[in-house]
Amino acid sequence: MELREVMLKSGRLRKLDLEGLSDERKPVFPGGFCVLLGVFNALGIEYMEVSDEAMREGLLYDLLGRLHHEDIRERTVQSLSNRCTVNKAQAARVRTTTLGYLEMVAEAWELKDPQYVDMLGWAAHLHEAGLFISHSQYQKHGAYIVENSDLSGFSLQEQMVLAALLRGHRRKLPQAIFDALPEHCPEPAFRLCVLLRLAVLMHRSHETTDLPSMALTAGKARLDIAFPNGWLDTNPLTYTDLQREIKYLKAAGFTMTIS
């Protein structure tokens, strides 16, 4: 509304003096502003963010995906995976497992929308991308790569969520990163991250092994995991990692139990 007042106060086009507004655009600027203001008022829009891409690029990406019956984002993830020499076998194992966990808790955690399946799958595929830079704190490197790469087909919000999942998939869970996500994103993103962390932990050996048939029961800020009788006793290293994970999650205000 400040811009509206400035324009009304100027009175005439030749007196309109806005930083960055060229003389060539002055004749069309007020008309475009009025149309945009009308859209904001009609749809109840409160703010607008600048996109690095033009609308024509988004339309072309969408059209290309439809013509080939594919999501351009899937190809983008594959391309980034190749550039970072991600271990595809490990990525596939984690992806399959974490999506299985999601299926068990999707209803309780309100994660049934296909977008959550896609996002969790992409995060699982790229969770080790940071190893391309260094093994030390590679979760931070992976998040940096995703956050600062040109990911065709991804919106800025999707890119932020994907980076947050990679950043939080191991060790200390940085709650502040999830809280900084756009509105309506923090809670579902945090829950997806909990599932990704669990899948990565269960595939700690980086080998193709049969995992136990686990039962996951989800609450608002809680996840209860039931293992087959005796499994935890015969897998002490995984049990130790799970105990450490319980402490990490507790520090982030989340409760996980194992039995």
From residue 94, alpha-carbon distances to 79, 144, 201, 244 in Å are: 19, 21, 9, 19
Whether residue 128 is found in the same domain as residue 9: no
Whether residue 125 is found in the same domain as residue 199: yes
Whether residue 119 is found in the same domain as residue 195: yes
Is residue 161 in some structural domain?
yes
pLDDT band, residue 155 (cuts 50/70/90): confident
pLDDT digits (tens, 9 = 90+) for 115-124: 999 999 999 9
Whether residue 108 is found in the same domain as residue 208: yes
Is residue 110 in some structural domain?
yes
Q: Which amino acid is at 133?
A: I
Residue 235 has pLDDT above 90, yes or no: yes
Supply the pLDDT for residue 97: 96
Instruction: Tally the residues of the chain.
Output: 259
Whether residue 10 is found in the same domain as residue 76: no
pLDDT band, residue 55 (cuts 50/70/90): low
Structurally, how many domains does the chain consist of?
Answer: 2
Supply the pLDDT for residue 64: 60
Tell me the pTM.
Answer: 0.76
Is residue 159 in some structural domain?
yes
Residue 140 has pLDDT above 90, yes or no: yes
Mean pLDDT of 42-47: 84
Whether residue 177 is found in the same domain as residue 249: yes
Supply the pLDDT for residue 59: 59
pLDDT digits (tens, 9 = 90+) for 58-83: 656 665 655 555 678 999 999 999 99
Whether residue 37 is found in the same domain as residue 68: no
Is residue 50 in some structural domain?
no
Is residue 119 in some structural domain?
yes
229 three-class SS? coil
Is residue 250 in some structural domain?
yes
Whether residue 233 is found in the same domain as residue 114: yes
135 three-class SS? coil
Supply the pLDDT for residue 80: 95
Is residue 37 packed enough to be buried (19+ CB in 10 Å), middle (13-18) or exposed (0-12)? middle
Whether residue 200 is found in the same domain as residue 125: yes
Is residue 51 in some structural domain?
no
Whether residue 17 is found in the same domain as residue 74: no
Domain range for residue 15? 2-43
Is residue 49 in some structural domain?
no
